[in-house]
Structure 1
Amino acid sequence: MHIVKTTLAALAYAAFATTAQAETRLSLTSGFPPGSIPPVAHQQLADWLAANSDLKLDVTAMTLLSLPETSAGLRDGIADMAYMLTQYYPAEYKESNLAGDMTMLTTVGTKTDVPGLVMSAAFAEYVALNCDGCQTEFKAQNHVFLGSGASSAYALVCRLPINTVADLKGKKFRVGGGNFGRWAEYFGGTKVTMPGAEMFEALSQGVVDCSTLSTPELVNWQLFDVTKAVVLGAPGGVYGAVASNNINRDKWKSLTNEERTALLKGAGIVTAGVAIGYQQQAAAAEKIAKEKGIPVEPASAELQAASDAFVTEDMKAVAKQFTDTYGLKEVDAKMKTIGDLIEKWKGKLQGVDISTNQPYADLLWTEIYSKLDPATYGMD
């Protein structure tokens, strides 16, 4: 009887060990609060992987790594995967940030209703398939690039009515990036840098007159009570320097070919979840603003034309900065590649269905992620 019990226990343990071995668990974190778009997109990936692979993903938000800590934390294996904003690290990711500084091209020239989706796809295709320097940068930080993402279009959220070129002169603008700061100064304004958490008080007390941001931030930072005007189409562009689910390189190499294939397929799930999430949230935030009696209007024709002219001129400033300050080579050729990819995706995404993530995720798989060989990508 004792022998039988021992044998049964051994069989049970063997079965458990086999199951445990067949299931690979990964951690995925972001510096965003629970319920915000990045962790929601990460949970969508976790659900997809649970249904389509032997990978299990443990998603955390705002507890493991802050946004400034993400690059080093992922490098050192504090998390297996993470959401990273590359512009937090200008020295480490200058090749990738060149694309991130060109996002204003998404809202000039050929018009698109989904600039964030355009930039997400263009950034991913550039980094994954067209930028050896980007791959070298990620390798140096012990990362493997897997997916992208982008905000919805940037607008002006102001404490007073503004909608002409003359209105901008002498105003103070809270900005979140170098291109938006140059935009403010181009129109005779002053750029002010501050954390998002300080925007409400700054607008309330007149420390700034406007903030340049994507309209979902109206909800995220509860700015409705200090907003008197929302101007769409200026400054334009999106925030697009996003690596939405980079993975630690050592962890990537430890996975099977099948598991790496699943994560490559999942890259489109996260990219779509982030970009479409912001697009849908923008529409909801603008609706709430209107219901609260806040004017939500497109930029005047004069302001739109002047803003577009700035973008064309600013590409020269981008080229000079990345050549002189960051020492990039062949910047003009790289900028042409990025610009061509933005135009390509404007065409491909005309009329795309964003009521669900799948049509966009399928396009990303066909055009980008399916072209990466799981046996060699990130393995050198």
Structure 2
Amino acid sequence: MKLKRALFAYAAATALSLTVVNAHAAETVRIVIGVGEGSAVHYGVEAFTKDLGERTNGDLRVRVFPSSLLDLRQTFGGIRDRVVDSGYMVLNLFPGELPEAQLPIELAMLGRNSYAMAGAMSEYILTCEPCIQERLSANMVPLGNASTGTYAILGTSPMTTEAELQGKKLRAAGGAWSRWAAAMGAVGVSLSGNEIFEAVSQGTIDGAMNAPSELTSIRLIDVATHVTTNMPGGTVHGLDLMSVNRDFWRGLNNEQRRAYMDAAALANAATTWKFAADVASNLKMATEKGITISEASAEAKARSDEAIQADLANIIQITTDTHKIEGAEEKIARFQDLVTKWGGLLPLDRQWSPEEIAEVYRSEIFSKLDETSYGL
């Protein structure tokens, strides 16, 4: 009888031990990145992985899946249906699913400071009830945004004056850049990223409106001869690498959700920082290779600024008629105010580290999200 009681006690203790171990077992966060390794997005997710592991004492680990699982267009559905828990989405690819998010994206040409644009976009989305609701309706929880570096003209001839721009065919990343090109006498050409190099090298187009980081990422450094650094400007700031499946989010406890939000701030900051760092390093490499780096003339820059300001009326019409957004004019004004605010919080007159940028994102945005209720 004593032996039987001893065996029972041992079995009970073992079961309790296994229960405790299972309760603290690490959970794997499955993230898909639909772009090649070595990208700024990979850099940001690596920073996130390390930070999240430290904040949760290893309870949340990250496994990254490549684009062979889901490409950029498939990732939205993959997160919604929980094929993965999270993934890298370029939000302008989903205007039908996320119309409210398109309004700040259409304001691309306001971008002069990528740290500020990522901050403005994150704050706008995370304090915009219709923006949050359209994401929740897709079974997702938004957690901020990153931004590319500021766009330049990467071309095969000088393009620093209005005369030099006349008739030039330039790859445009979206409607904002196409409208800018038309206003300046050039022609915006819609091409995917993997088509740009061939189009420039064959002379089909005269250049591309892209961040200078693309000089190496798509090898434009081998065909471009001139770079205009301060025109047209603009950023792609609808880069979402931290949105998560809502069912996954609900499965986390409060401490894990807080850790996840704080680590997401670093992911957005580190990705944006890497894009900006790649711009600087690429311009240095271009100079060393003999590519001419120039600024637009004062006259061309003034005309560019006028065109960007005049385009706001077009954006009001596009967001109202195409995206069916109510109160577009007020929402545009709000985003403009956020861009101004964030330009003051993260000015470009000093060097920033990813951690420093993340702290500003946390204090101004993520600390104000309630982990006990947000996204649930």
Report the TM range for the smaller structure's normalisation.
over 0.9
Paired amino acid for 2:217: N
Paired amino acid for 1:350: P
Paired amino acid for 1:97: Q
1:21 matched to 2:18: no
8 A Cα contact 1:149 1:243, kept in partner: yes
8 A Cα contact 1:87 1:97, kept in partner: yes
CA shift, 1:51, in A, is 1.1
2:40 aligned to which of 34, 37, 41: 37
Q: Which residue in the other structure is 2:280 paired with?
A: 283
The sequence identity of aligned pairs, in percent, is 31
Q: Which residue in the other structure is 1:52 paired with?
A: 55
Count of aligned positions: 371
8 A Cα contact 1:39 1:61, kept in partner: no
1:73 matched to 2:78: yes
8 A Cα contact 2:270 2:355, kept in partner: no
Give me the whole-angstrom Cα distance separating, in 1, the residues matched to 2:352 and 2:335: 28
Q: Which residue in the other structure is 1:348 paired with?
A: 345
Q: Which residue in the other structure is 2:302 paired with?
A: 305
CA shift, 1:63, in A, is 3.0
Q: Which residue in the other structure is 1:134 paired with?
A: 131
1:120 aligned to which of 103, 118, 121: 118
- Please give the per-residue CA displacement for 1:248-285, whole angstroms capped at 9, x wherever unaligned: 01111111111111111112111111110101111000
8 A Cα contact 1:101 1:179, kept in partner: yes
8 A Cα contact 2:102 2:319, kept in partner: no
Paired amino acid for 2:164: D
Q: Which residue in the other structure is 2:165 paired with?
A: 168
Check 1:320–1:21 CA distance in 2 against 1; reply closer, same or farther (3 A cut).
same
What is the alpha-carbon root mean square deviation over aligned residues?
2.1
8 A Cα contact 1:354 1:360, kept in partner: no
Which SS does the other structure have where 1:266 is aligned? helix
Paired amino acid for 1:27: R
- Please give the per-residue CA displacement for 1:128-187, whole angstroms capped at 9, x wherever unaligned: 01x111011101211100121000100000012221111111111111111001111112
More off after superposition, 52-61 vs 34-43: 52-61
1:216 matched to 2:213: yes
8 A Cα contact 2:159 2:296, kept in partner: no
8 A Cα contact 2:148 2:237, kept in partner: yes
Check 1:80–1:238 CA distance in 2 against 1; reply closer, same or farther (3 A cut).
same
Check 1:262–1:166 CA distance in 2 against 1; reply closer, same or farther (3 A cut).
same
Q: Which residue in the other structure is 2:325 paired with?
A: 328
Gapped regions of structure 1 (runs ≥ 5): 108-114
8 A Cα contact 2:162 2:185, kept in partner: no
Q: Which residue in the other structure is 1:235 paired with?
A: 232
8 A Cα contact 1:230 1:295, kept in partner: yes
CA shift, 1:353, in A, is 5.4
8 A Cα contact 1:147 1:270, kept in partner: no
Paired amino acid for 2:101: S
1:267 matched to 2:264: yes
8 A Cα contact 1:159 1:204, kept in partner: no
Paired amino acid for 2:265: G
Give me the whole-angstrom Cα distance separating, in 2, the residues matched to 1:89 and 1:80: 18
8 A Cα contact 1:46 1:59, kept in partner: no
Gapped regions of structure 2 (runs ≥ 5): none
Give me the whole-angstrom Cα distance separating, in 2, the residues matched to 1:182 and 1:27: 39
Which SS does the other structure have where 1:342 is aligned? helix
Give me the whole-angstrom Cα distance separating, in 2, the residues matched to 1:14 and 1:33: 45
Check 1:11–1:215 CA distance in 2 against 1; reply closer, same or farther (3 A cut).
farther
Check 1:6–1:229 CA distance in 2 against 1; reply closer, same or farther (3 A cut).
farther
Which SS does the other structure have where 1:328 is aligned? coil
CA shift, 1:29, in A, is 1.6
CA shift, 1:9, in A, is 9.1
Check 1:13–1:352 CA distance in 2 against 1; reply closer, same or farther (3 A cut).
farther
Check 1:4–1:222 CA distance in 2 against 1; reply closer, same or farther (3 A cut).
farther
